[in-house]
A and B are shown apart, each in its own frame.
Chain A
Amino acid sequence: MKPGWEMVIGLEVHCELKTRTKLFCGCPNEFGDQPNTNVCPVCLGLPGSLPVLNQKAVELAMAIGTALNCQIRPSTFHRKNYFYPDQAKDYQISQYDEPLNVHGHLDLPDGSTVGIERAHMEEDTGKTTHAGASGRIHGADYSLVDYNRSGVPLVEIVSAPDIRTADQARAYATELRAILVASGASDGKMEEGSMRVDANVSVRRSASDPFGTRCEIKNLNSVRSLGRAIEYEADRQIALLESGGTVEQQTRHWDEGEGRTVALRSKEEAYDYRYFLEPDLVPLVPDAEWIQAVSDTMGILPAARRARLVELLEEGGESTATRADQVATVVDLGLDDLVLAAVAAGVGAGLALARTANEAATDPPAARQIGPRSYVALLTMEADGSLTATQAKAVLGEMLAAGGGDPAAIAAARGFEAMSEDSLVATVAEAVAAHPDEWGRYRDGEDKLAGFFTGLVMKATKGQADGKAINAELRRLRS
């Protein structure tokens, strides 16, 4: 970001709801099936068909509203009219001026807060594939349409223009994704398109200036491309303004390969969607009882889960400031249950968190597959000294690769046995005797040489010694 400028960013996130069936019909809501197999008269928009609202989808939408601290209120559906072949009825049923969820906010791990203007329900379109060089509908040799996705329930979450940096945008998308997963509303897979992010970006010289003209960026398929696209777009707008030009309000496409945004259409070319109240549906008026029931059945949200880990660290007398990243990683990957289980079994919170954030996090699905029981058994062996840290990591690596296993058996098979105290004392003594100069300097207070001796002992024992025990022995000899 160029000094002297500020970005203003608002994000629009579409997420597919994890319902069994589609929003207005009984067709399966499944990704990856044979094209045009999960379809019926309703989601194909056949003449005479009518939509019937899926109550489960409403509940998941309300769960999102609850998780984002929104007011949940009576709402209506409108028709958004435009012609496109993936749109079975040539209109999309969407909530317009009376959305289900309004006026919420999302607290980010760094302590900042982003306002949520609305989170409304709508149906997804089908999916087009354009054959030919352009890859777009214009100039295509032919186009194929798969209506399996047509009518899949979506919630569009619109943030306030409260985001000021690309990092904050990334944090917002990451946290929102974690909330969607935790609330059970969506699987939040950006790569499969079940979570899609559009960014509205503008720039201004100072925080007291009015907002600049914004551009909307589409086709952001990962948190990484979101950040890159925002940075590129802000730089583009700043360069324009600094050279005396003006920013034109546009919809722009992020080209991941080229690393740049390209204009799709300008404001003048924007569609007139001719929104009007959908006459085939009745107003959606959730009562207080229903809203409460949804809130009661919702999973624990990431912010609360992070707070729980921090609390455990504090109880164990561990530093929390330096471990914020580990806490965020573990919660974001949904591995905090493993940490909680280990702490409950008596493992220190610091150790449990470190192993989970550093090792288990390299393969979260495998870590979940290992399950709390074997995982806790392993950490207990490390905690009580039957395995050194190095050994424990090796055993865990094997468990992750295999998706499970008995840590004691793996340790035995590898010949890992913690060294006896006598043999540790002897090995340390040998190392000290072999390097009298270094020992002298260590004795005189050059503490960093502890690492030198630890390395020697580790080498001599092929990693079977426990680093902490070596340090303790070195300190004992010096005193």
Chain B
Amino acid sequence: MTSPAPAADLARAVRSGSRSAADVLDGYLAAIDADEEEIHAFNLVTAGSARTRADEIDRRVADGEDPGLLAGVPVALKDNLCTRGVATTCSSRILEGWLPPYDATVVVRLRQAGAVVVGKTNMDEFAMGSSTEASAFGPTRNPHDRGRVPGGSSGGSAAAVAAGFAPVALGSDTGGSIRQPAALCGVVGMKPTYGTVSRYGLVAFASSLDQIGPLATTVADAALLFDVIGGHDPLDSTSLDRPTPRALSVLDDGVGGMRVGVLTEFMEGASPDVVARVREAAGALAAAGARVEEVSVPVVTLGLSAYYLIAPGEASSNLARYDGVRYGLRVDADDIVAMNTATRSEGFGAEVKRRIMLGTYVLSAGYMDAYYNQALRVRTRIIEGFDAAYRSCDVLLGPTTPTTAFPLGEKTGDPLTMYLSDVCTIPSNLAGHPAISVPFGAGDDGLPIGVQLLGPALSESTLFKVAAVVEAAAPESPAPAGGGRS
């Protein structure tokens, strides 16, 4: 059994000269032309620079050079990854007109591997949201049902991969922002161990939780992308100075003898069709030789509450710099405080303001211990809870999201309901652990369902290995409505 890897196949074809990078790119640009207007996966399509770049790759191949593991592979980048000289907006008005003078470390690594950036994808403003509806530039639509959300906040990246606009994409995951949209769009999405992928050049939402990761159509492509972007970076002090687990080389090792725990607490809030799919996936792992059992980690149910204190607290500080003084939007006013206030009032959307206010409150003198510090204590208990579970099993299995994709507009008026869609993904961020969402058939509504695998810190190799088995056993996935892949 070999895991399918369309992006890796493209790179192989380009490196061998059997297909040109320009030809590969044209196919994806044609798909973008056909459907992007309706899907709105991108804030910016960089067709021109992508063509120049594809030609350069082809020239290098012609000259006998090897452009790298991702030679000629089109990649979509979430619009919170800094790209030198190319607008990076975080889907916010407040960054309007800002051109970063530098590339994020992951962008540098993609380029060194020969990838071709096709555009910057839409997202919830500053990655705060679960539907991509909180974008200043309008929502992205789910390619499987254009009346539904793609999830978020990396909804643009997930939709771009699902719609065939790019074979792979990068997103960022602070509380599930890669895995949740991957599940809702029927693609693979993975959040690495905190510290394995450099955050340098990722516009911060909540620094202790943010992690960049891959989205792809298959597990093997996600593993390839992870191998390219991972590894120590001296520009990020929280980057782990140790070898990154290699993902690609272990993919086909199988799960014989492995211990898989089905996480009770994640199953409890999920809809019956989602639960049924997770049970099927568990059955498939058992059939492949794994020992499957129910595991309970009661403390994970506190994750959502802790997250909505820690993440806004950090965000309130991270987003202070958007004050109109140095870059981006400035709304003129009579004095500095009025200018700051006017700029931030006009530049930020409602959800961002909500979280800045919440975060400012929880860090305030007199409230900090009751809220922020209490949340940090819960965070420690969640880590301990996972540690205990991982003494008896290698990976945990559960749903990625409680439901399939919901209709546009359904939850925008009720932030708390929106927040609940991340209930199964948040604990991994709080623990700093890796997790991956793998498409596994459809729900009663015919929309994609993702199952999630969780592992302890630096267990990426194991996770990818198990994910490959789940992927191979998955029922036929629904195809996106309309639009095709090249």
Residues of A bordering B, CB below 8 Å: 41, 44-53, 79, 81, 83, 85, 88-91, 137-138, 143, 145, 272, 274-276, 279-282
In the complex, what residue of chain B is closest to A91 when comparing beta carbons?
B317
**How far is B90's CA from A49's CA once the two chains are assembled, in angstroms?**
15
C-alpha spacing A81/B323, complex, angstroms: 13
User: Among the listed A89, A274, A281, which residue makes an inter-chain contact with B363, where contact means beta carbons less than 8 Å apart?
Assistant: A274
Contact across chains for B82 and A88 when beta carbons are under 8 A apart: no
Cβ-defined partner of A41 (8 Å) among B102, B202, B365: B102
CB distance from A428 to the nearest CB of B (A): 78
On whether the beta carbons of A279 and B360 are closer than 8 Å, the reply is no
Residues on B with beta carbons closer than 8 Å to the beta carbon of A85: 323, 325, 336
Question: Could you tell me if A279 and B208 are in contact, using CB atoms closer than 8 angstroms?
Answer: yes
Question: Nearest chain-B residue to A47 (Cβ)?
Answer: B203
Judge whether A274 and B100 touch: CB under 8 Å: no
Task: Give the Cβ gap from A276 to chain B, nearest Cβ, in Å.
Answer: 6
Contacting pair A46 B327 (CB below 8 A): yes
Given A45-B326, A279-B207, list of 14 further CB < 8 A pairs? A41-B100, A45-B321, A47-B82, A47-B321, A48-B80, A49-B201, A50-B237, A52-B237, A81-B320, A90-B323, A145-B325, A272-B365, A274-B360, A280-B207
CB–CB B340/A47 < 8 A = no
22 contacts between A and B (CB under 8 A): A41-B100, A45-B321, A46-B100, A46-B102, A47-B321, A48-B82, A49-B102, A50-B235, A50-B237, A52-B236, A81-B320, A137-B336, A145-B325, A272-B365, A274-B317, A274-B365, A276-B314, A276-B372, A279-B206, A279-B238, A280-B204, A280-B238
For the complex of A and B, 6 pairs with smallest distance between CB atoms: A90-B320, A279-B207, A274-B363, A279-B208, A47-B203, A48-B201
Q: Are A90 and B200 in contact (CB under 8 A)?
A: no
Residues of chain B lying within 8 A (CB to CB) of residue A145: 325
Smallest beta-carbon distance B379→chain A, Å:
12
Interface of chain B residues 51 through 88 with chain A (CB within 8 A):
80-82, 88
Given A90-B321, A91-B320, A276-B363, are A46 and B237 also a contact pair (CB < 8 Å)? no
Measured CA separation A384–B232 after assembly (Å): 68
Q: Flag B356-370 by CB within 8 Å of A: 1 or 0 each.
A: 000010011100100
Contacts of A49 in B (CB 8 A): 102, 200-201
Contact across chains for B321 and A89 when beta carbons are under 8 A apart: yes
A137 to B204 alpha-carbon distance, docked (Å): 29
Name the residue of chain A whose CB is nearest to the CB of B199.
Answer: A50
Query: Could you tell me the distance between the alpha carbons of A276 and B376 in the complex, rounded to whole angstroms?
Result: 11
The answer, yes or no, to whether B98 is at the interface (CB within 8 Å) is: yes
Rounded to whole angstroms, the CA-CA distance of A459 and B251 in the bound complex is 103
For the complex, give the distance between the alpha carbons of A93 and B88 in Å.
25
B48 at the A/B interface (Cβ < 8 Å)? no
For A137, the chain B residues whose CB sits under 8 A away are 335-336
Contacts of A275 in B (CB 8 A): 363
A274:B364 contact, CB within 8 angstroms: yes
A143 touches B237 (CB 8 A): no
In angstroms, Cα B100 to Cα A79, docked, is 24
The 0/1 profile, CB within 8 Å of A marked 1, for residues 369-408 of chain B is 0001000000000000000000000000000000000000
- Find chain A residues with CB under 8 A from B202 CB: 48
Residues of A within 8 A of B237 (CB): 50-53, 280-282
Q: Report chain B residues within 8 Å CB of A90.
A: 320-321, 323
Give the residues in chain A near B314, CB-CB below 8 Å: 276, 279
Residue of B nearest to A272 (CB): B365
- Min CB distance A213 to B, Å, is 20
In the bound complex, residues from chain A placing their C-beta under 8 Å from that of B337 are: 83
Asked whether, in the complex, the Cβ of A52 is within 8 Å of the Cβ of B235, the reply is: yes
Within 8 A of A (CB), among B188-215: 199-204, 206-208
Residue of A nearest to B233 (CB): A50
Q: Which of A51, A79, A272 meets B317, CB within 8 Å?
A: A79
A138-B323 in contact (CB<8A): no
Which residues does chain A contribute within 8 Å of B335, judged by CB atoms? 137-138
Give the Cβ gap from A167 to chain B, nearest Cβ, in Å: 37
Are B365 and A83 within 8 A (Cβ)?
A: no
- Assess the B363–A81 pair: CB atoms within 8 A: yes
**Which of chain A's residues has its CB closest to B325's CB?**
A85
Residue B473 interfacial (CB < 8 Å): no
User: A48, B104: Cβ atoms under 8 Å?
Assistant: yes
Beta-carbon contacts under 8 Å, B300-337 to A: 313-314, 316-317, 320-321, 323, 325-327, 335-337
A138 to B335, CA, bound (A): 7
Q: How far is the CA of A81 from the CA of B201 in the complex (A)?
A: 22
A381 to B321, CA, bound (A): 66
Does residue B163 face the partner (Cβ distance < 8 Å to A)? no
Closest to A89 in B: B321
Inter-chain CA distance A83–B238, complex, in Å, is 26
A274 to B336: give the CA distance in the assembly, Å: 21
Chain A residue with minimal CB distance to B208? Answer: A279
Q: Are A83 and B340 in contact (CB under 8 A)?
A: yes
A280 to B204, CA, bound (A): 10
With a cutoff of 8 Å between Cβ atoms, the chain A residues found around residue B219 in the complex are none
A47 touches B98 (CB 8 A): yes
Please state if A83 and B323 are interface contacts (CB–CB under 8 Å). Answer: yes
CB distance from A41 to the nearest CB of B (A): 5
B336 and A48: CB pair below 8 A? no
State A81–B316 Cα separation when bound (angstroms): 9
Q: A47-B98, A83-B320 are in contact. Are A276 and B336 (CB under 8 A)?
A: no
Q: A48-B204, A53-B237, A274-B363 are in contact. Are A81 and B199 (CB under 8 A)?
A: no
Q: Bound complex: CA of A145 vs CA of B100, how far in Å?
A: 20
Q: How far is the CB of A279 from chain B (nearest CB, A)?
A: 4
- Using Cβ atoms and an 8 Å threshold, which residues of chain A touch B81? 48
CB nearest to A86 among chain B residues? B325
CA distance A276 to B207 in the complex (A): 12
Query: Is B234's beta carbon under 8 Å from chain A?
Result: yes
Please, which residue of chain A has its CB at the minimum distance from the CB of B98? A47
**A48/B203 contact (C-beta < 8 A), A41-B101, A276-B363, A281-B237 known:** yes
**Contact of A276 with B321 at beta-carbon distance under 8 Å, contacts A81-B363, A83-B340 already known:** no
Most B CB contacts (10 A, CB to CB) among A48, A52, A138 go to: A48
Q: B178 at the A/B interface (Cβ < 8 Å)? A: no
Do A81 and B326 form a contact, CB below 8 Å, given A47-B90, A50-B200? no
Chain A residues with CB below 8 A from B327, complex form: 46
Q: Which residues on A sit within 8 Å (CB–CB) of B104? A: 48
Q: Is B281 an interface residue (CB 8 A)?
A: no
Q: How far, in angstroms, from A41 to B102 measured CA to CA in the complex?
A: 8
Rounded to whole angstroms, the CA-CA distance of A143 and B104 in the bound complex is: 32
Taken together as a complex, chains A and B put the C-alpha atoms of A272 and B368 apart, in Å, by: 11
A261 to B64 alpha-carbon distance, docked (Å): 75
| Interface residue B95 (Cβ < 8 Å from any Cβ of A) | yes
How far, in Å, is A268 (CB) from chain B's closest CB? Answer: 13
Contact flags (1/0) for B220-242 with A, using CB distance below 8 Å?
00000000000000111110000
**Contact assessment for B235 and A276 in the assembled complex, using a CB-CB cutoff below 8 Å:** no
Tell whether, in the assembled complex, residue A276 and residue B317 are in contact, meaning their CB atoms are under 8 Å apart.
yes
| Residues in chain A near residue B317, CB distance under 8 A | 79, 81, 91, 274, 276
Complex interface: chain A residues within 8 A of B235 (CB): 50, 52
Provide the bound-state CA to CA distance between A184 and B204, in Å.
37
In the bound assembly, the distance between CA atoms of A49 and B327 in angstroms comes to 14
Note all chain B residues with C-beta closer than 8 A to A81.
Answer: 316-317, 320, 363
Cα distance A49–B100 in the bound complex, in angstroms = 10
Cβ of A62 to closest chain B Cβ, rounded Å: 19
Q: Which A residues are CB-close (under 8 A) to B372?
A: 276
Within B463-477, which residues are at the interface with A (CB < 8 Å)? none
By a CB distance below 8 angstroms, the chain B residues around A138 are 335
Chain A residue at smallest Cβ distance from B341: A83
